[in-house]
Structure 1
Amino acid sequence: MRFSFLALPLLVAGPALSLTADEVLQATYDGGALPDGQSGLTLTVQVLLDRAGVSPGVIDGYKGGMSESALRGFEEQAGLPVDGIMDAEVWAKLARDGAAPVLAEYVVTAEDVSGLTESIPDNVREKSEMAELGYTRVSERLAERFHMDEDVLKALNPDAQFVEGETLMVADPGAPLEGEAARIEIRKGAQRAVVYDGSDAIIANYPVAIGSDETPSPSGAVEVTAVAMDPTYSYNPEVNFEADGVKEALTLPPGPNGPVGTVWIDLSKPTYGLHGTDTPAKLFIHQSHGCVRFANWDVEELAHMVSQGVAVEFVE
């Protein structure tokens, strides 16, 4: 199981502070490409893509690399010309008649506000001494549950205290997909994982982070050997890499803020897997030491569609 914090020289959007629920709910498509920057229309499109089984990654309302790659994935799935640009044909298939509003009300529960982790240290040895690498804020927990950027959740609810009984406006990405995966393509260039069923139809499409040139992801075909929910993480500098100057092997506890997130899907190539991440907004920025990272909610969905023996092909 491998992870790193290498960054590509790409620009990322700053915190979302101005987007309002009204702007999202009133968004309409009048033609042309999505507007630059952040908009209620882009957030709407992101939610509709998520419902269609083509994950935009973190729902943040920003036009960017993950949104463009998701549009390409949807166009491929829908049999449209693939260019990653919003147009009337894409909108017509996404926003079908009767589509539910992309935002919904959610009442914060007692469970939502309990069991938080006070803080998470940076050092790998200190992490290994913890009981759980859990959520540190209610807003963080709920943002992941609804596939959202935490700053966007706060922007849509500017007066929220995130306490039990409070009603929030959240993204409504729909119920998790159900299906049975027959094979998965990890498309390195596109940074997408495309899931096919037994009839070779696309049933899901997710953004991912892959290995760097120095520590590449595998090539060719491997297969799923096991699935672990809420996995621990085995840190072994003699096998993988050294972090924080720690030279002994350690076991890090489970949790969404652990280095492999909430799921580990083991592959037949030793030490490699498909797994979650503690930084879903940075999937298109960070690179791994060879494994394939997903947003926690995406790999949780995938985990229920795969079984031992499912083929995983790495495509250059």
Structure 2
Amino acid sequence: MTSATRTGLSLLAAAGFLAVDLASAFAQEGYGRNRRGNGDVMLVTPEGEILDYMPGSDEVRTMRDRRGRTVLVDNWGNVVATVVPSEGYGAYRRQQEADVYSNRRTRDRGYGYSEPGDVTGSIPDYRDPAYRDVVPPSVERNELPNSLPGLIDGDEQAAIDPQYDQPMRQSMPPAISVKSKSRAEITALQVFLDREGFSPGVIDGKMGSNVTKAIEAFQQSTGETLDPNNTEDILERLRMNGGLPITSYTITAADASGPYVASIPDDYAHKAMLPHMSFTSTTEMLGEKFHMDETYLRELNPGVDFTIPGTIIKVINPGENRKEKVARIVADKARKQVLAYDAADKLVAAYPATIGSSDTPSPSGTVNVERIALNPGYTYNPKINFKQGNNDKILTLQPGPNGPVGTVWIALSRPTYGIHGTPEPSKIGKTQSHGCVRLTNWDATELAKMVSVGVTVEFVD
């Protein structure tokens, strides 16, 4: 290791980074052994994709579905992944395809119409895994607070409008595989990409598909090959553009005072009673402010009380927002990434995204940006939307980062579709939505300030 590398890493360590084995960041490197004890298992999402991260014990519960399979379920009752033996993955996919085909005919859906600043949303039923364990009623039928409606007609939702030409996906230079790197080194890589406009999503010091996609987009834009294993080069790039990846921050009285809400309820009637859909804690606010995973923020500051003004903490230094003018947006469904191009058709920014699902897909073809709303409210209308609980009246949810569409709503010319934020940034690019395009709140805000009405949005299958 060169002296420059040793110096850079020592500075990172002095700033409070935790050096950990990267193996824990990869869900496929042994979630467990299968029942026969003769091979590893994989975590497979409801869409049939292999999960590329390990959900924490505070994020999921382990349950059984009607076939006796182990499933991971989040706090809202959504299936995050099914535990499948490696050798049985092919059979699982065939069964899943049969399930999806059957469910398309019988699934009860709700749809709505969206407007900026007064977003009407509908959230269709999610998958019902028919758990064997005792589960709260919301598991079998629940609304997803970070999703938006599909189209007014379910059949139209998967259709391609005749006047739209189907855009072609642009291949990107593959990223170099990351070898064994410390968490500090991965964090430096994530911060570098974030500063360059190629978002890795939440910064957590873990390698995953969102980081890989960001590297590929950076290479596509610059024409150079980025070696993620060359920490010396990455640290030098950071030094030339904003300095070290973390910095000190003093918690202010405004940070400590909020306003905050105690919690965000599931029921929309209860949501409507809140004065605002604000953050629930100082750590949640600071995590979003500095593009960080909230858990990682706590790990960098062990034992710290974040509610005391004057407390000095360590945070990520993400740098300034991008300010290029975007002329064209590509929502790549397969890559789960939003790509932003300028008038010269140069890729200037890229963001990990959650784009539709197999049951409620996003549109195909080209649409346009019609309206842009920052800090939008949200209106629930049971005559248009799904039936949520016992609610039978129109409900107005106040604006806030924990609202169903986060801090941004970019309305598209296809009714009920838009690009928006989310109250759950750590799940971007790793779960499914219901037709719209979800970004982290900070990425959605950056993009909203770079686009204008009339910008084209191309959905690529």
Q: Indicate which of 193, 212, 221 corresponds to 1:49.
A: 193
Unaligned ranges ≥5, structure 2: 1-44, 58-175
Q: Indicate which of 407, 410, 423 corresponds to 1:278.
A: 423
Aligned position for 1:302: 447
**2:219 corresponds to which letter in structure 1?**
E
* Structure 1 residue 15, shift from structure 2 partner: 5.1
Q: Indicate which of 371, 386, 404 corresponds to 1:226.
A: 371
**2:247 corresponds to which letter in structure 1?**
A
Q: Indicate which of 261, 268, 293 corresponds to 1:149.
A: 293
Question: Deviations 1:261-299 (Å, cap 9, x if unpaired)?
Answer: 001011111111100001110112221110100000000
* Structure 1 residue 126, shift from structure 2 partner: 1.0
Aligned position for 1:98: 240
Pick closer, same or farther for the CA change 1:110–1:309 going to 2, 3 Å.
same
Please say if 1:107 is aligned against 2:148.
no
Q: Secondary structure at the match of 2:220?
A: helix
Aligned position for 2:334: 189
Measure, in 2, the Cα distance between the counterparts of 1:217 and 1:248: 28
Identity of aligned residues (%): 43
Measure, in 2, the Cα distance between the counterparts of 1:91 and 1:238: 59
Measure, in 1, the Cα distance between the counterparts of 2:365 and 2:382: 26
Stretch deviating more after TM superposition (260-269 or 125-134): 125-134
**1:98 corresponds to which letter in structure 2?**
M
Question: Deviations 1:95-153 (Å, cap 9, x if unpaired)?
Answer: 42634100011111111112111221111221122111110100110000000000111
Q: Secondary structure at the match of 1:106?
A: strand
Pick closer, same or farther for the CA change 1:153–1:103 going to 2, 3 Å.
same
* Structure 1 residue 235, shift from structure 2 partner: 2.2
* Structure 1 residue 259, shift from structure 2 partner: 0.9
**1:10 corresponds to which letter in structure 2?**
L
Q: Indicate which of 240, 264, 268 corresponds to 1:124.
A: 268
Computing the radius of gyration over CA atoms, which structure comes out larger, 1 or 2?
A: 2
* Structure 1 residue 160, shift from structure 2 partner: 1.2
Aligned position for 1:63: 207
Question: Deviations 1:210-246 (Å, cap 9, x if unpaired)?
Answer: 1112111111111111111110112234444343454
Measure, in 1, the Cα distance between the counterparts of 2:177 and 2:386: 47
Contact 1:35 1:63 survives alignment (8 Å): no
User: What is the TM-score with the length of structure 2 in the denominator?
Assistant: 0.60
Unaligned ranges ≥5, structure 1: 1-5, 17-30
User: What is the TM-score with the length of structure 1 in the denominator?
Assistant: 0.86
Measure, in 2, the Cα distance between the counterparts of 1:285 and 1:249: 32
Q: Secondary structure at the match of 1:154?
A: helix
Aligned position for 2:54: 13
Q: Kindly report the root-mean-square deviation, in angstroms, between the aligned alpha carbons of the 2 structures.
A: 2.4
* Structure 1 residue 170, shift from structure 2 partner: 0.4
Please say if 1:86 is aligned against 2:231.
no
Q: Secondary structure at the match of 2:361?
A: coil
Q: Secondary structure at the match of 1:112?
A: helix
**1:40 corresponds to which letter in structure 2?**
A
